[in-house]
Amino acid sequence: MLRLPELSDLQVFHTVAQTGSVTAAAKRLHRVQSSVSSRLKVLEEQLGVELFVRQGKGMQLSPAGERLLGHAEDLLSRAAQAVQVARSDEPCGPLRVGSMESTAAVRLPPLLAQLHRAHPALEIHLATGPSHPLSEQVLAQTLDAAFVAEPPEHPELQRQALWQERLVLVGTASAPNTLLAFRQGCAYRGVLQRWCQQQALSPRVIELNSYHAILSCASAGMGLGIVPESVLASYPWRAALHEQALPAEQAQVPTYLVWHAARQHAGVSALLALAESSVRAKSVE
C-alpha cells in the first residue's frame, strides 16, 4: 500500500526550497536544524529520490525536487483552504436538500436562486421524492435538510413549519374507483387515502411519477388525484379538470423544513432564514 507523505514534511521541503538552506528553514519554521534535516531525510527515503543537491551550506533542488515543488505548493495551499473552510461560519461546500415534487416546482426556484446569490460558495444539490423517505434520509444524514409534509415525530429531527398548502381533489366527479397518486411515502397520498376511507371507498391506486402525469390522467377521466392549489395555479389546462374541495381540516397541510439535530450546517440555517423571510413577505402582501 502506497504510503503518502506527511503534510508537515512537505512543508519542511517547501521551506527549504524557498530559503535555500536547512539553517534558514529551521529559523522560519521555529524548529531545530536537526529536526528539519531528519524530516527531509524521511521524505527522501519515503519517495526513494534525492530532493536536494547539497552545495556547501546551501541546498539546491534536484530534478526530482523541482518536479515535486509545484505539487507540494498545491497540496499545502489546499490544506490551508480546508482549515479555513472548516473554521468559517460562512455557508460553503455541499448542501444536500430534499423536497417534495410540488415544493421543488413552485416554491424552491426563487428561494434557491436567492440562496445561491447570497452564498455563492454553497454547492446546492436538490433531490425530489415523497415526504417520508426524504425524512428518513435526513435522519440517516444523507440529506442535510428537506421540505416535507407530515414529518415523523423523532427526537433527532428538527422542524419548522413554513407554507400552508391547500389540497384539491381533481378528476372523476362520481365516486372514484381509481386513485392517481405518487408512490407510498407521499404525505398527500395519505391524505387522499384517509378521505377515501371516510367515504367508505376502496379504490385501486395507479402510481405516477409527476404532477403533470397525475393532472393529465385526471383530465382524461382515469381517476381521482390530489394536487396542491399552488401547482394547479400554473397548470395551463386547468379548465378541463373537475375540481372537488376537501374538508377544511384535510385540505390545509403545512410544509416543513426538517434537518438533523446533530448537524449544525450553516447552509441549512441560511436556507431556513430565507424561507422564513419569504413566508413573512407573502403574509404582508
> What residues does CATH 1.10.10.10 cover in the chain?
7-87
Domain 93-163+254-284 CATH (choose: 3.40.190.10, 3.40.640.10, 3.30.2310.20, 3.30.360.10): 3.40.190.10
Distances (CA, A) of 225 to 85, 89, 122: 47, 44, 37
Mean pLDDT throughout 276-284?
Answer: 81
Dump pLDDT digits (tens) for 20-49.
999 999 999 999 999 999 999 999 999 999
Q: Residue 70, class by beta-carbon neighbours within 10 Å (0-12 exposed, 13-18 middle, 19+ buried)? A: exposed
Predicted local confidence at residue 37, as pLDDT: 92
Q: Tell me the pLDDT tens digit for each residue of 54-71.
A: 887 788 999 999 999 999
Instruction: Using pLDDT thresholds of 50, 70 and 90, give the confidence band for residue 284.
Output: low
Q: Report pLDDT for 87.
A: 67
Q: How many CB atoms lie within 10 A of CB 108?
A: 21
The architecture that CATH gives domain 7-87 is: Orthogonal Bundle (1.10)
Domain 165-252, CATH: 3.40.190.10
The pLDDT score that the predictor gives to residue 173 is 59
Cell digits of residue 67: 518536479
